[in-house]
Amino acid sequence: MTVHNIYIFDRVGTLLYYQEWNRLKHSGMTKEEEAKLTYGMLFSIKSFVNRISPTDTKEGFLFYRTSKYSLHYLETPSGLKFVLNTDNHSQGIRDLLQQIYKEIFVEYVVRNPLCNLNEPIQSELFKTKLDAYIKQSSVFLTKSM
Amino acid sequence: MVIYGIYIVSKSGGLIFNYDHTVPKIETTRRFTYPIDLKLNYESKKISVQFGQRDGIHVGHVLTAINGIQITGRQLDDGKDAVEILESKENYPLTLTFERPKMTTNEKIFLASMFYPLFAIASQLSPEPKSSGIELLEADTFKLHCFQTLTGVKIMVVVDKNQIGAEVFLKRVYELYADYALKNPFYSLEMPIRCELFDQNLKTMLEQIDKGGIASI
């Protein structure tokens, strides 16, 4: 069980935060380009899901899985998007994302008057808290080499 | 056991086959007095709900009938303009029918070709080397399973959230595709599949699943 990386986007698609833990493959583009591609993909998936769904959706897109990793997605009503890539065996990532939003993002970004809400997060406190939170969570286990 | 739809997308991203199995019809009829408590959107060709979700009428639902008379686009079947009727006070109370819009064939083709880049980007953005594209996409109302054959044809199935064993089903659809579409001398690759035997066998299999579950195939 591993956590690969996390992206946090705001409602207009600005990359607020990116951090990676066990990432073995890089996409070969800059962080900004990659973030734009990720956001664009998620935006498309969102409208795709809304159209192809047989009934009315509430939360819409939850996650997707490929042969090597899973991408979990949480969007808040205010449009903040939390994207966490993990391996395929991880459970309960949605709760984890909700906790990250509630306990880390709101506490150390929203309640920090020096953090501007629509530009990348610079706060060191947020960085360390998020890192610690992910590392102590049950899904974080470095792959045995 | 619910299978909503099956889609087959060719190597180049075009929709070559689709079949709707069970498509739930979501329709609500209610009596409205003036002024109506929904915000309607008249901008596109259709009249849709923009705000004010209630009694089973959701945002995005389209107005399909006024007082039981069907609407095509913005015009009633008896020739009147729907917007005019809705906006004049003396016509009320009105009985309006709203429905979740069904996918048109054009929209399906559009969505199928939209899935193609999503599939490719998912593999490109992978944090692990040698990842495939999307195999399972889950939303709160359905699951989409995708199986890519070695030749690049994608077979997708939209199923209920609690449906298990869709992978087996996809493999069986692939077998049918190989047997009845590819072995048909009148079928040319990359073209829409119009093979009677394929349709027949697929339907038989779906009936079997409806009766005995996915384990029965």
What are B177-187's pLDDT values in tens digits? 999 999 988 98
Residue A143 has pLDDT above 70, yes or no: no
Q: Give me the residue label for tokens 């998912």.
A: B122
pLDDT on residue A145: 38
Residue of B nearest to A72 (CA): B138
C-alpha to C-alpha distance for A22 and B188, rounded to whole angstroms: 46
pLDDT on residue B215: 79
Please state, as a whole number, how many other Cβ atoms lie within 10 Å of the Cβ of residue A91: 11
Sequence-separated (6 or more) residues with CB below 8 Å from residue B93: B31, B32, B33, B34
How would residue B1 be classed by pLDDT, with cut points 50, 70 and 90? low
Average pLDDT (A75-99) is 93
ipTM of the complex: 0.90
Torsion angle of the four alpha carbons A107, A112, A118, A122, in this order, in degrees rounded to the nearest 10:
-100
What are B188-216's pLDDT values in tens digits? 888 999 999 999 999 999 999 988 888 77
Contacts of A63 in chain B (CB under 8 A): 137-138
What are B2-51's pLDDT values in tens digits? 899 999 999 999 999 999 998 888 899 999 998 888 999 988 888 999 99
C-alpha to C-alpha distance for B207 and B36, rounded to whole angstroms: 44
What are A11-48's pLDDT values in tens digits? 999 999 999 988 998 888 999 999 999 999 999 999 99
CA B203 to chain centre: 18
Contacts of A61 in chain B (CB under 8 A): 137-139
* Angle at A80 (CA atoms; ends A78, A81), nearest 5 degrees: 140
pLDDT on residue B35: 87
Alpha helices in chain A (DSSP H): 31-52, 93-99, 124-136
Under an 8 A CB cutoff, do B26 and A37 touch?
no
Average pLDDT (B101-112) is 91
C-alpha to C-alpha distance for A139 and A117, rounded to whole angstroms: 28
